[in-house]
Amino acid sequence: MKLFGFLFFMILSLSLYGQKEKPQNYKRYDEKALHFGFMLGFNQNDFILYQKLNAYSQYGLLSLTSKKVPGGQVGIVTTLALGTPVVRLRFIPTLSFQERVLNYTFINKVDPKGKNNAYEKRVGSTNLDFPLMFQFRTLRLNNFAAYLLIGGQYTMDLQSQEKASQNFIDPFIKIKKNDYQAQLGFGTEFFAPYFKLGIELKYSQGFNNSFIQDNTEPSNPIDRLYNNTFWISFIFEG
């Protein structure tokens, strides 16, 4: 969270540095209550992972880690001014592509030399995300503004195998189809003559345990998994 605040301060400082009074682009933007646009971006995903306390003694697990993996997203933007240009409500239905990697290291109980047995399990998701955010924006300084975001989202994983039959030859990690997440972010806005470009950094944290225990070798050592995502978005509004 300290890094999050530091990045916001640096972006704001660099954007304000050297600003001089100049003609404003898109002067009538704030006169409209409702704006539409689109969003393109990248994301980085992993799990906040809790393993069982007896994972070593019962399952021979030496280590279990979650690796961050990049993904992407595209969305449709609707922004509503709540009586003032400073406070807005933003809704961005989004299609996002995400993947997480779980890295396991087990003790090979059969091998007398005690070599470790390591492998990974990939968990892919194609999500429909429905974030609803409050946007607290500064007043414009020439053709620049900055803002903070706070809110939450509902996520539906279209790729979820929640109800699929398990493949016990090559078992997979089962993840719940539905999730609810809190979100916090910040961004900057740059006004061009006929549109506004926003560059946004956002963090999502799942409320609910997304993991489904089905007693396979990769799932046995796991107690809970929570979705965890960083988003970088480029938002174009007219």
Which of 78, 89, 181 minimizes the C-alpha distance to 134? 89
Q: What is the CATH number of the domain that holds 131?
A: 2.40.160
Residue 218 domain-assigned?
A: yes
pTM: 0.83
Q: pLDDT for 174-195, tens place per residue? A: 999 999 999 999 999 999 888 8
Two structure tokens written together for 151 = 């809110």
φ and ψ at residue 187, rounded to 5 degrees: -165, 175
Instruction: Tell me which DSSP letter residue 176 carries.
Output: -
Structure confidence at residue 25 (pLDDT): 80
Residue 27 domain-assigned?
A: no
**Contact (Cβ atoms closer than 8 angstroms) between residue 68 and residue 229:** no
CA distance 114 to 190: 59
Residue 151 domain-assigned?
A: yes
Two structure tokens written together for 123 = 């968990």
Q: pLDDT for 222-232, tens place per residue? A: 999 999 999 99
The CA angle 190-192-197, to the nearest 5 degrees, is 45
Beta strands in 85-218 (DSSP E): 87-91, 94-107, 116-137, 144-157, 174-175, 178-191, 196-206, 211-212
Residue 144 domain-assigned?
A: yes
**Strand pairing report for 222-237 and 144-157:** unpaired
Residue 60 domain-assigned?
A: yes
Structure confidence at residue 83 (pLDDT): 84
Residue 65 domain-assigned?
A: yes
What lies within 8 Å, CB to CB, of 99 at 6+ separation is 45, 69, 71, 122, 123, 124, 125
Tracing tokens 């995903």 back to the chain, one arrives at 45
Structure confidence at residue 116 (pLDDT): 66
Structure confidence at residue 6 (pLDDT): 46
**Residue 64 is inside which H or E element, if any?**
strand 61-67
**Contact (Cβ atoms closer than 8 angstroms) between residue 182 and residue 205:** yes
Structure confidence at residue 4 (pLDDT): 47
Structure confidence at residue 115 (pLDDT): 59
Residue 16 domain-assigned?
A: no
Structure confidence at residue 114 (pLDDT): 55
Range of the domain at 68: 37-237
Which of 7, 109, 94 minimizes the C-alpha distance to 62? 109
10-residue mean pLDDT profile of the chain (238 residues): values are 48 47 75 92 95 90 92 96 90 96 82 67 95 94 93 96 86 94 96 92 95 92 95 95
User: For the chain, how many structural domains are there in total?
Assistant: 1
Residue 3 domain-assigned?
A: no
Structure confidence at residue 26 (pLDDT): 77
Residue 236's DSSP bridge partners are 38, 197
* Coil, strand or helix at 14: helix
